[in-house]
Each structure stands twice: as C-alpha cells, then as structure tokens.
Structure 1
Amino acid sequence: MITDAAPFPLDRPTTFTGIGLSITGDNEIAVSQPVGPRYLDHRGQTTIGSVGVLTDVSVGAAVAVARLHATGERPQSVMSQITASTAHPFPVTGAVSGRGRSVYFDDTTGLAEATLFDDDGNPVMHLTGRSIVVGRAPSDALRAPDVTHAAATGTEPGPCADPGVLAELGGLEIVAGIAAETVPRGPLAELLGLTLTAVEHGTVQGEIVPLAWMANPIASVHGGVLMSMAEIVSGLAAQTLTGVGGRYRLLQISADYLRSPAAPGPAVQIKSEVTRAGRRLASIETVICGADGTVYVRARANAQLFPGV
C-alpha cells in the first residue's frame, strides 16, 4: 500500500489554492482546501468555482494513485471530463475536504469519484471525473516551488458587492454593472482576472489571460482552473434571468476538456448562454475558446432560480 504523497509533488494551482493531499489507500486519497474571502464570488458566496482546482485534484490524483500502486508507473495524465453536483451550500469560511476514489483505469483512461464535505460533515459536492494519459512529459520548471499559497502573497482579496446594493438591482443590472465596473466582480473573478466583455439577458461573455500560477506540469491551464472559469461565467448568465431580490445557484456543471490553452498564454474567451429557462431551473452551455476559434472546453450547467420581483 502507498502510504505517503511523495510520488505526487503538488503542482502550481494546487499549491496556490492551498490544497492538501494525502494517500489513504491503494486507490484512495484525502484532500482538503481552505475557503474564505479570497475565493468568494461577487455575492460573497463560495461556489463550485471557488474550489475548481480541488474538483480536478480529487478525482485525477485518485486514479494516479491506483495506477502507481498496480503498475509502478505514473504516466502524465489530464482530465478529459469532470461533473460536479452540489448538495448542501458551501461554507463561506473553514475548509472543504473529502476523499477521492479510483473506480477504474486502464493504459489510457481512468474513472474516479469523490465526495466533499464542510467542517460539520455535511456533503457539499459529489464529483465524477475521467482522465486520459497524454504523451507530453512534465516540466520540472513548472513544479510548485515557484508559487506560494495565494493567502501568503500579502495581497488583499478583492471586494464583494454590497448586499444592500445587490438587493435593489435586477440580475441583469448586476451583471451589467460588473462589466461596467460599477459593481465589484468579487475576489474569485479578480483572482482569475475575469473581465466581462458582453452582457445580455441569458448570455454573458468574458475574457481571462492565463497566468503562471494556473499552469499544470505540462504548461497548460490546469483543468480545475478551467472549471472555475466556466462555472463563474455560467453563474453570471443564470443571474441575468433573475429579478430584483432574485437569487441563483448552480446545481451541477459538467465540463468536457477538448484542448488545453497555454499557461501563461494569450487570452481565452468564455461565453455562457442560457439554452432553456423555466421558472425554477435553467440550462446553460459554456464554451471556452481561443482568439482563433479553437475550442478548449465545452460545459453544461443546471441552475436553480429564485427569480425575485
């Protein structure tokens, strides 16, 4: 049985977000991530995007552990698909932790699942993920020592929006305000560097320039960071459907990873569009692509709506 995490040096995004990982069995890992002011959205809430890197690590590392135990090898792999489903609301402070378990692997792919909990033991998210072995070798220059935990950088997290102001605005006005920089975009959006470029009822477009801390060991944007990008813009598209005093919550998001943008690298565009909207539920499709039209990620989300006035 593997009993320590020495074969699994933490990469840049994992270190930057403060994730802890330990190997607890031949096909199982324990993970945790602190949550708090640095990872909140504009409403002051923790979301799937706040723990996006953790979604990738929880399932991807579990398969890597199982493969290493069974074969003695650890080929470089990346996530090809992740589905995240929420349960209890995420905590605003404290930590999210849980266990990831490998369900199956072969020479080219792997399947894993994980359930994450708050500090009181309430389940907050269930994950399933499929990984794929790639031919690219990792770069020692992209290992974690080049970055530190975001909380140790000495920079203050960006502000959340004033709840009193949000209570007086419709959802479309709020998201348009974020685009116009009259409403704070929130700490998580600031951490990612999200800029909104177009806002309509049911559609939101944004742009992010991948930074060095977002890189996995093969110099691509980490799958968990891409999850955060897709989730935050999907949520804003859902918010455009709500009236004054309305709320939204993403219940589930599933991301398919098609190509990998470089990190650091040129800007990527994120477009989220509501494809179906009822009174209580909405379906949203999101695409992350390059300036040349190369599609990196396709995601589908379901949002619960509390429409308001």
Structure 2
Amino acid sequence: MSGPTDDERARCATVRAAFQAAPFYDLLGIRVETERPGTSRLTLSNRAELRQSQGGVHGGALMSLADSAMGVALGTALREGDAWSTVEMTTQFLEPVGGSDVVAEAAVARLGRTLAFLDCSLESEGRLVARARAIFRVRRA
C-alpha cells in the first residue's frame, strides 16, 4: 500500500491543526496524530483531574477521546468546507484505566452522502480498555 499523497497529508494537517487549536482538547490533554485520510490516532494524557472516585480515568473523558478520534478520522476523509457532527455514539467500557495514557485509534467504516459510520478502539498499557461506534451527519459544501 502506498503512502498518503501530498494533498492527503495537507488535509490531515489542516484537520489536526483545527482540533489542536480548540480549547476543549487542550483542557482534556488530548494530542492529535493523523497521517492517513479516514483514520486517526489521539492520545489522552492521564492526569489526576480526569480521574473518578475509584482512581481510574472517568468514562466521560474516555467518551470525549473516542468522539474526538472519530471526528478527526472523518474530517480527514471529507473535502475542505464539508461539515460533520455526531448523531449517535455507543461506548463499551471493557476494563478500568490505571495510571497510563490512553490511545484512541479510529477509522471510517462507511462514508455515505449524508451519514458516516466510524469505529474506535481505546488502549492503555497495550490493553483494549474501551471501544466505541458512532454515526455522524455529513453536510457537504
């Protein structure tokens, strides 16, 4: 399989920069990495502010990470000027997250004219800790 084209790399860089500029992602400590259209890799820094009463990372932070990862993956698959928003998301929490960072990897499963379907896996210390699926509404430019 060949690597991404210059146009694909530029689109990924544009989406990455837009997400990194949003204050919410900075607040959560999410770092965005993406080099290939239709996929993403985001890392959530495990910080004390994100932990729930039992010491693990709060499920809401994990869901925000998954939603963000799927949004980035979709954004890289669309054209400049297209818009998207989450319609529905389901998350399964498979095991608690300890003290390590969490890595989310997302991919577009199907991209239609007005709807997109995405999958995401979240890992910490090499273990699958959660998975998510989402449907996004797509508004073409």
TM-score interval, smaller chain: 0.7 to 0.9
1:288-308 deviation digits (Å, cap 9, x = unpaired): 10242x011100000111132
Match for 1:304 among 132, 137, 141? 137
1:266 aligns to 2:103 (yes or no) = no
**Residue 112 of structure 2, aligned match among 269, 273, 278:** 278
Show the counterpart of 1:221.
57
Structure with the greater relative contact order (CA < 8 A, sep ≥ 6): 1 or 2? 2
SS at match of 1:219: coil
CA change 1:259–1:185 in 2 (3 A) is: farther
User: Which residue does the alignment assign to 1:287?
Assistant: 121
What does residue 34 of structure 2 align with? 198
Shift of 1:175: 4.2
RMSD: 2.2
2:62 and 2:136 map into 1 onto residues whose CA distance is 19
Aligned pair in 2 of structure 1 residues 182, 216: CA closer, same or farther (>3 Å)? closer
Structure 2 residues without counterparts, runs of 5 or longer: 1-6
Corresponding residue SS for 1:232:
helix
Displacement of 1:198 in angstroms is: 2.6
> Distance between the aligned counterparts of 2:75 and 2:35, measured in 1?
11
Using the TM superposition, give the Cα deviation of residue 224 of structure 1 relative to its aligned residue in structure 2, in angstroms.
Answer: 1.1
The TM-score normalised by the length of structure 1 is 0.41
AA of the residue aligned to 2:121: V
Instruction: Identify the residue that residue 4 of structure 2 maps to in structure 1.
Output: none
Counting only pairs closer than 5 Å after superposition, residues 213-252 of structure 1 correspond to structure 2 as 213-252=49-88
How many aligned positions are there?
Answer: 135
Deviations 1:170-221 (A, max 9, x none): 9974542354x58743111101111122332110111111110111111001
SS at the partner of 1:295?
strand
1:176 aligns with one of 10, 13, 22: 13
Higher Rg: 1
Does residue 1:208 correspond to 2:41, yes or no?
Answer: no
Per the alignment, do residues 299 and 183 of structure 1 end up closer, same or farther by CA in structure 2, a change over 3 Å counting?
Answer: closer
Native 8 Å contact 2:95 2:129 kept in 1: yes
Match of 1:187 among 23, 48, 52: 23
- 2:125 and 2:140 map into 1 onto residues whose CA distance is 34
Structure 1 unmatched runs, 5+: 1-169
TM-score calculated relative to the size of structure 2: 0.85
Report which of the two has the higher share of helix. 2
Q: Runs ≥4 in structure 1, deviation > 6 angstroms?
A: none
